[in-house]
Each structure stands twice: as C-alpha cells, then as structure tokens.
Amino acid sequence: YSGLVLNEEGYRRLAATPLDRVNCTLAATETFNRRNGNASLDEALARVLAILERSERPTTVTISVAFGCPFEGTVDPGVVAELASRLNAAADEVVLADTIGVATPGQVRLLVERARPAGVHLHNTRNTGFANAYAAFEVGVRLFDASVGGLGGCPFAPRATGNVATEDLVYLLEGDGVETGIDLDELVRVSEWLERLLGRELPGQVYRAGPFPSRTAPAADSAATSSSV
C-alpha cells in the first residue's frame, strides 16, 4: 500500500506508518502546482527530489496534468518529458496522469514513447480513457492506475469523472489475451457491493453488463432435441 505525499511534512507522517511505498506528485504546469501544493513548478520538483533522496521505501512519482491543465490548457510535451527524465533517474516509478481526461490515444502514444514512464493514470471524462490505456499498453506501459467502479474525480475539474474502472480495464486486457492475475467475476461483485454501499450507480460498465461468458449455453430447443436422441 502507498501513501500520497506533497511535501516533506507529508513524508514525515507517512514514515510513521506501515505503508509500503511513497507516492509523490507534482504537476506539469506552474498554475496547477500553485493551486494544489502552494509551490512553483521548480519548488515542487525540488521538494519531490528531496523526498526521493530521503526515502528508504520504494517510490512512485505521478506527474499530474501531463496532457492538459484546467488553468493553462495544452501542456508542452517537452516539459513533461524533461520532468520525467529527471524523475526517472531518482524514483522507482514515474506515472503520467491525464488528470482532467483530455488526452487522446495518439497523444498518449507519443508522450509515453518520449517520456518513458512506468505507468499511466487515466480518467474517462471524455470517454477516451480505455482507448488511451490500450494505446499506452501498445507502447510498453504495464502499470495502470484504476478504480473500482470508476470512482474518483478532481477538485479542480468539477466535471471530471473518475479513473478508468478497474473491472472494465481488466475485461479489455483479458479479452485481448493479456493475463492480469485478477479475478474479474470477484471484481464485478466488489463493484456491485460498492454500488449498494454508496446508493448510486457507478460510472463503470462491465459490472452492470456482466463479463462476457466464455461459453454460450445451448438453446432450449437444441437441448431438448439432443436429450431425445
């Protein structure tokens, strides 16, 4: 289990817990860093690098708004690639986040090839999240942030939906022959339980439609004919 930290105070608190991993975050734009962490981009980067140097636990750094910022709009891929290069040298994992769900598969493919992150963190706000995940998979990504039922959001993007639904992503990958090690039927049951707990329908699709059966039952008349032979 990991804990999310923005600064050294957060790191000190995490260090007093049994959590296994340190997850730092910084944004690819000045404005988002100031709104989210009260620091400039350079200050946020310095904070993260200091935490990475101190940490005795495995580390992940998530670069938020890597594909688009609610305050500054389009983000320069060169800035993201430079951040990723510096962080890849210090962290165990670097993750690119489409925080407000604006990326398209072509953009994901190009930035992943350029920045070489270990993973991606995708939102399905504009219904491109799963296409983006598959595009990232095709160019080497094997680490995906996802959430049961597609829960989540962003306080700076009120209309942003949650992360890609875990069960939907598992269905997509397993259907293409990728072994995830996750029991989809059990995962669907967890989403159904969560829906009952929250008292509302979740954004995910597979838990409502159900996994596609691997074997189709014979039609009733065919079964009757067979039994009479």
The answer to whether 175 and 135 have CB atoms below 8 angstroms apart is no
**What are 96-152's pLDDT values in tens digits?**
999 999 999 999 999 999 999 999 999 999 999 999 999 999 999 999 999 999 998
Domain boundaries, the chain: 2-164, 166-213
The answer to whether 2 and 60 have CB atoms below 8 angstroms apart is yes
195-203 contacts: CB < 8 A, separation 24 or more? Answer: 195/149, 202/148, 202/149, 202/150, 202/151, 202/165, 203/124, 203/149, 203/150, 203/151, 203/161, 203/162, 203/165
**What are 13-67's pLDDT values in tens digits?**
999 999 999 999 999 999 999 999 899 999 999 999 999 999 999 999 999 999 9
Average pLDDT, the chain: 92
Is domain 2-164 annotated with CATH 3.30.2350.10? no
Whole-number pLDDT of residue 216: 56
Query: E strands, 6-79, where?
Result: 21-27, 59-64
Given the residues 148, 154, 157, 165, select the one marked as catalytic: 154
205-218 mean pLDDT: 79
Known catalytic residue: 154?
A: yes
Tracing tokens 């080497």 back to the chain, one arrives at 140
Give the pLDDT band (50/70/90) at residue 161.
confident
Supply the pTM of this predicted model: 0.90
